[in-house]
Amino acid sequence: MKNGMELALCEARNAAERGEVPVGAVVLGPDGTVLAQGGNRVEELQDPSAHAEMLVMREALAVRGGQRLADCTLVVTLEPCPMCAAALAHFRVGRVLFGAYDPKGGGVEHGPRLPFRAEALHRPEIIGGVREQEAAGLLKTFFQSLRTREEAENPHP
């Protein structure tokens, strides 16, 4: 069986093929069962909140019922942004494994570091940097090819 990060990376690659920023996520139940897996769908759904984490957390609850993921692990290829980092507390996610660190847009280990704030309602166990190179590599390749395409379409004289 593929592990969670392997699946999340696969979902990130699928997202890139759909023209989405390549971020993928998986929710694993307490026994390691995959409850939900998916990628970023911001462009497809024309919904700026359709980050991979939001989609899979919602789907995992739809599968299981209830309103908490306290015995679950969210695996995601990129450090969650502040929106998703705050949602982790609403969903009471037990554990978060993420791939690449995001110094500019992250909200877990960077920026507001929401789970570590005194007023945080809930703090998941957090492990960052899992298969960091691969996760970061996907994003780097995606944005490089985006820039190349933009430069080809808008050449400077």
Residue 122, annotated as binding a ligand: no
Taking each continuous run of H as one helix and of E as one strand, the counts in the chain are: 4, 5
State yes or no: residue 54 binds its own copies (CB under 8 A). yes
Residue 10, annotated as binding a ligand: no
Q: Mark whether 43 is an active-site residue.
A: no
Nearest alpha carbon to residue 101 among 68, 72, 135, 69: 135
| Strands of 34-39's sheet in order across | 34-39, 24-28, 73-78, 95-100, 125-127
Looking at residue 27, its amino acid is V
- Orientation angle between helical segments 4-17 and 132-153, nearest 10 degrees: 0
What's the min distance (Å) between Cβ of 23 and its own copies?
13
The correct pick among 2, 117, 147, 149 for binding its own copies (CB under 8 A) is 117
- Residue closer to its own copies by CB (options 91, 142) is 91
Contact 51, 73 (CB under 8 A): no
Task: Please give the structure tokens belonging to residue 141.
Answer: 């390749």
The correct pick among 17, 31, 46, 156 for binding its own copies (CB under 8 A) is 46
The interface mask with its own copies, positions 82-101, x = CB under 8 A, is: xx-xxx--xxx---------
Q: Which residues are annotated as a binding site for Zn(2+)?
A: 51, 81, 84
Give the residue numbers annotated as catalytic, written as ranges: 53
Chain contacts with its own copies (rule: CB under 8 A): 42, 46-49, 54, 57-58, 61-62, 65-68, 81-83, 85-87, 90-92, 104-105, 107, 111-112, 114, 117, 119, 121
